[in-house]
Structure 1
Amino acid sequence: MKLPSRIISQTLLLGLLGAGLGTLLKLPVAPLLGSAILVSIATLAGLKTASSNLLRNISFVVLGCSLGSGITPENLALVGRWPLSLLALTITVILMMYANTWLLARFYGHSVETGLLASSPGALSSVIALAQSGYGNERAIIVLQGLRLILVMAVLPVIIGGLDLQGTNNTAALQGVMAYALLPSLFASAFLLALVLDKIHFPAAYIMAGLALSALGHGTSLIKGIMPQPLIVAAFIVIGSSVGTRFNGMQRHELKLYTGAAIASVTLSSIIAAMMAYGVALLLQLPFGQVWVAYSPGGVEAMAAVAMALHYDPAYVAIHHLSRIVGLVLTLPWIMTWLKRSS
């Protein structure tokens, strides 16, 4: 067996062990969080870990198809409330980025460019591309972004579970499990659509392709029920393990240098997101936890998985994270160019 394959298998075994430990410890979304946390710890301890892009993308398709099964007529009836919620999300992102840029510059000595890119909640590929183009401290941005993702993914579900804010969006479960005979054609169609979307650089292409086709199938009654639980658990383990590998190459001195800044930044962002989410939830009569997950500074794939596990409206959460990514992709290059000219 070639070395990369052995490392990938080793990483997945660690993820499986982490999922088991997470279940024993009764972590929320245990397969996802347990695998992500254990693989992260192993990676930071110096163990070589790796993920398969193909397995990860297949897992995103499975997750997207599962999310699509949770889109119900009751959810879609609330679409009219989304524009105001998306407007509030825009304000939330601006507040997050402004406050975190000030925090990282004022108390941790980072430049404005580094602080802005490090605190951008999502659009990681664009952020790294900008950093590699000479904007800010590339290494600090990558480390802070990686720490932000794992902190949000690990802590937010625990807080929501502790506050008993789980949703009730489990209507599809009453219809039983999807027919296994339909799964190969659903997965293949979603994967092909994802390849097309990825080719045109559509954000979160694999998860959004699965969500769209599954929602269409459920909406037209061609598909009924939820994704088989073993497939969801397997997808969570692959995705969680993939998140944990992001710490490859991180030095211990970097961890010591940036952990405090990352914790402070995530705490500030989460407080801003919670305050805005609480107001929006009251105004639009939406579940507070659902809006908080939609506004949180995590990645779309991880937060969509959290939303599904906590029984929130998957379309609401996914569209909000997708909208934020698109907005950042379109505006960040212009903002960074303006900052460079102004300095």
Structure 2
Amino acid sequence: MSVRLFPPSRAGLALLARWLRLFGLSAALALALTAAHLPAGVLIGCMAAGIVLALRGGALRVSTRLFALAQAVLGCLMAHSLQPATLHAVALDWPLLLGVTALLLAASGALGWWMMRRQVFPGTTAVWGLAPGAASAMVLMADAYGADARLVAFMQYARVVVVTSVASFVAWWWQPRGGVPAISPAFLATPRWPELAATLALAVGGAMLGRGLRIPAGPMLLPLLGGATLQYLGWMDFELPAPLLAAAYAVIGWSIGLRFTPPLFRHALGALPQVLGAIALLMGLGALIAVALTLGWGLAPLTAYLASSPGGADSVAIIAATSAVDAGFVMAMQLGRFLTVLAVGPVLTRWIATRAARA
């Protein structure tokens, strides 16, 4: 019995070459940023590499299953940071969490309403595009309510890229030099295999269930909430080795960067100054809230800044995990805001868009 081997097609070779370029550029940028002690260097490097390849016409997409698994690993990381003492502290400060979330929602709604009245984007696109969180959910909701989903996606992921990059730089500038080791000596340490198996089981199960139930950000939320509950009860001990986290950071970075396709970028280029201006205003409000948290609640400045940052909860969580901050408080604040935006954001955004359209 003979086996016939067929040479790969020209399209297959071209696709392989694009992936190799993405891996090579990502590795170079991630190593350089990590060596410079930049928090979330792997995330930023892979995100930048994805943007470069995407805008040069390299049509690549990360598997939705792989992205869901990376989100689930990140959910486990966030759950691990939510120790019982942190949860108790945040529960006592729940008015603070709601106040910060309400300010960010009000500011994003006002900016979206203003951009809609100025007709910067057609229809209700601007209102959906500036909602501070749950980017993928907002894109789907916007498409369902008649907004231009391409422009909403551009605004949402531009916000994530800008806020993540600035937050990473601020964390690098603020913390003492050498606060984050360039290469962790424990990177290749032998993991605790039973705990790792339990962590992976939770991540895989949460990713599959989240995708199956079609819950917005479900692959991240289910392991996060389930893992935090199990840890609080003393039934879960997470094991998250550095190579596993680095792989999850890379997948999330590529998933964000590769969304910036050339047609989408060209379509939105004319409104880019207004988009960046609106993002800058949201970030300015977050910085003012951080000052208030530092002066009024005695938080460390960098902890307060990351807790009030209007970026994606996943990317800010990665920065917090690789910085000298109270990661538990940052992740609890980001999680609370994310859940509030997920529950209230679509309703509030639809209400603002409807009133602005009538006006």
TM bracket, shorter-chain basis: 0.7 to 0.9
Cross-structure match for 1:40 = 51
Give the 3 Å change call, closer, same or farther, for CA 177–230 of structure 1 in structure 2: same
Work out which of the residue numbers 249, 260, 279 in structure 2 matches 1:247: 260
Q: Residue 258 in 1 paired to residue 275 in 2?
A: no
Q: Residue 69 in 1 paired to residue 74 in 2?
A: no
Deviation for aligned residue 1:277: 2.9
TM-score, normalisation: structure 2: 0.80
Question: Are the counterparts in 2 of residues 8 and 50 from structure 1 also a CA contact under 8 Å?
Answer: no
TM-score, normalisation: structure 1: 0.83
Question: Are the counterparts in 2 of residues 18 and 38 from structure 1 also a CA contact under 8 Å?
Answer: yes
Q: Residue 205 in 1 paired to residue 215 in 2?
A: no
Cross-structure match for 1:337 = 354
Deviation for aligned residue 1:84: 2.6
Deviation for aligned residue 1:74: 2.8
> Which secondary structure does the structure 1 equivalent of 2:343 belong to?
helix
Give, as a single letter, the amino acid of the residue that structure 2 aligns with 1:205: G
Structure-to-structure mapping, 1:122-141, within 5 angstroms = 122-133=133-144, 135-141=146-152
Q: Residue 318 in 1 paired to residue 353 in 2?
A: no
Distance 1:252 1:331 in 2: 28
Cross-structure match for 2:182 = none
Comparing 1-10 with 34-43, which one deviates more in the overlay? Answer: 1-10
Cross-structure match for 2:201 = 188
Q: Residue 89 in 1 paired to residue 101 in 2?
A: yes
Deviation for aligned residue 1:259: 2.9
Comparing 227-236 with 113-122, which one deviates more in the overlay? Answer: 113-122
Question: Are the counterparts in 2 of residues 273 and 292 from structure 1 also a CA contact under 8 Å?
Answer: yes
The percent identity for this pair of structures is 22
Give the 3 Å change call, closer, same or farther, for CA 198–111 of structure 1 in structure 2: same
Question: Are the counterparts in 1 of residues 31 and 42 from structure 2 also a CA contact under 8 Å?
Answer: yes
Unpaired runs of 5+ residues, structure 1, are none
Distance 2:82 2:191 in 1: 14
Distance 1:104 1:291 in 2: 31
CA deviation digits over 1:35-64, x for unaligned, max 9? Answer: 111211221122222211111111111122
Q: Residue 56 in 1 paired to residue 56 in 2?
A: no
Question: Are the counterparts in 2 of residues 204 and 322 from structure 1 also a CA contact under 8 Å?
Answer: no
Comparing 63-72 with 97-106, which one deviates more in the overlay? Answer: 97-106
> Which secondary structure does the structure 2 equivalent of 1:259 belong to?
helix
Unpaired runs of 5+ residues, structure 2, are 1-7, 180-185
Distance 2:271 2:254 in 1: 22
Question: Are the counterparts in 2 of residues 22 and 34 from structure 1 also a CA contact under 8 Å?
Answer: yes
Question: Are the counterparts in 1 of residues 70 and 252 from structure 2 also a CA contact under 8 Å?
Answer: yes
Distance 1:180 1:16 in 2: 27
